[in-house]
Structure 1
Amino acid sequence: MASQMANIPALKELQGQIQTRMNKTVDDFRASLVGVRTGRASVHMLDAIRVDYYGSEMPVNQLATVSTPEATLIVVSPFDPTVVPMIEKAIRNSGQGFNPMHDGKVIRIPIPPMTEERRKEAVKQLASVLEDHKTSIRNIRRDGNDTIKKATKDKLISADDEKRAMEETQAMTDTEIKRVEDLFKAKEKEVLSL
């Protein structure tokens, strides 16, 4: 859709800022989806787990190579064998229901099939994350609209420009909310399929 705001450089810049912020929110939601358990092993299942490494919280993938040699197994190969117990403890205490085992060098994490109850709980958790991101997108819209209203009040733009700018901001909002909802539906289908 050709932008009517292009006539006014300040509005065009504002529109770009709004779009950038909304895109970041969508990307953040997409990143949240990657770590969700689906019953199939994924290296991203460990992305949210932090290991207490000599007083610093470090992600597992910065302390080890993470791989999935088969659909129901994650293998963690630490760069330094002395961190094996720390990584194992962090994985065990992550609340994801993993039962890691190690031989002193490599940690193996079998991924048990998800129960129906666990699948529904994962979808419920995802729905909550979805709502948070939709709220973020709406807050970005509100901030943009506030800036547009201020520009009108300060006589920088006309009432017609204000109306057009707000309509375009709403159109962007609707598009980005649909994007996160579509991502959610695809992940929900993946989680619930056996």
Structure 2
Amino acid sequence: MAVSAMAGIPALKDLYGDLKRRMDQAVATFQSQLGSTRTGRASAHMLDAIKVDYYGTPTPVSQMAQVSTPEAQLILIQPYDPSIVKEIEKAIQASDLGFNPQTDGKIIRIPVPPMTEERRRDVVKHLNKVLEEHRTAVRNVRRDGNDALKKLAKDKKISEDEEKRAMEDVQKMTDEEIRKMEEMCKRKEAEVMQV
């Protein structure tokens, strides 16, 4: 994306930076949710959303154990503290991922069964729902930016031409961020539907 006209106007520089940061954050959140979405292959990121009660603090599994995928259909969890194996196992069973962990007291093995066609379709529906939520988040950032631009123009801090150009820049930025998320979603959908 070309350098924004907003970045060159002192009154708009901070606003541009803030809008860009907030939109990028929405994209990054979407990307992390895609990473934790289940496909037909095992991935350590599948467990990112699972939190284990560790001394009263909900802690991600990845901070309590080494998580690896030695095989395409297996996730291996080696807790740093062997006394929390049962808590990790309970948290995985309580999650909506549908995994059945097996433990030998030190290591937790999670077989990842192949997904059915129906489950794949459900995952794609879920991906599209998450995409729409994040599109809305980006659009809300655009709305906030446009409101701020209108206020600056009303207060005579920027001209009407600068307001118009800045609004066009905000729209371009919004379109670019949404396009990035849609491309990520398409790639993930293809990965999910691949048998």
TM-score (norm 2): 0.96
Going from structure 1 to structure 2, the CA distance change for 1:173 and 1:79 (only over 3 Å counts) comes to: same
Which segments of structure 1 move beyond 4 Å, counting only runs of 4 or more? none
Deviations 1:110-159 (A, max 9, x none): 00000111111111111111111000000000000001000010011111
Q: Distance in 2 between matches of 1:52 and 1:112?
A: 26
Which residue pairs with 1:35 in the alignment?
36
Matches within 5 A, 1:162-173: 162-173=163-174
Matches within 5 A, 1:15-164: 15-164=16-165
Contact 2:36–2:47 under 8 Å retained in 1: yes
Amino acid at match of 1:87: I
Aligned to 1:185, the other structure's residue is in SS state helix
Contact 2:42–2:73 under 8 Å retained in 1: yes
Shift of 1:54: 2.6
Identity of counterpart residues, as a percentage?
59
Shift of 1:4: 2.7
Q: Distance in 2 between matches of 1:183 and 1:26?
A: 10
Going from structure 1 to structure 2, the CA distance change for 1:152 and 1:121 (only over 3 Å counts) comes to: same
Deviations 1:66-111 (A, max 9, x none): 1111111001011111111110111111110101000111100000
Contact 2:11–2:157 under 8 Å retained in 1: no
Shift of 1:190: 0.4
Amino acid at match of 2:172: A
Contact 2:11–2:158 under 8 Å retained in 1: no
Q: Distance in 2 between matches of 1:118 and 1:70?
A: 21
| Count of paired positions | 194
Shift of 1:161: 0.9
Q: Distance in 1 between matches of 2:184 and 2:112?
A: 24
Q: Distance in 1 between matches of 2:88 and 2:165?
A: 54
Amino acid at match of 1:47: D
Shift of 1:6: 4.2
Amino acid at match of 2:175: D
Q: Distance in 1 between matches of 2:38 and 2:69?
A: 14
How large is the RMSD of aligned CA atoms in angstroms? 1.1
Structure 1 runs not aligned, ≥5 long? none
Q: Distance in 2 between matches of 1:10 and 1:28?
A: 29
Structure 2 runs not aligned, ≥5 long? none
Shift of 1:2: 4.3
Q: Distance in 2 between matches of 1:124 and 1:45?
A: 18
Going from structure 1 to structure 2, the CA distance change for 1:79 and 1:138 (only over 3 Å counts) comes to: same
Q: Distance in 1 between matches of 2:186 and 2:51?
A: 28
Going from structure 1 to structure 2, the CA distance change for 1:7 and 1:45 (only over 3 Å counts) comes to: closer
TM-score (norm 1): 0.97
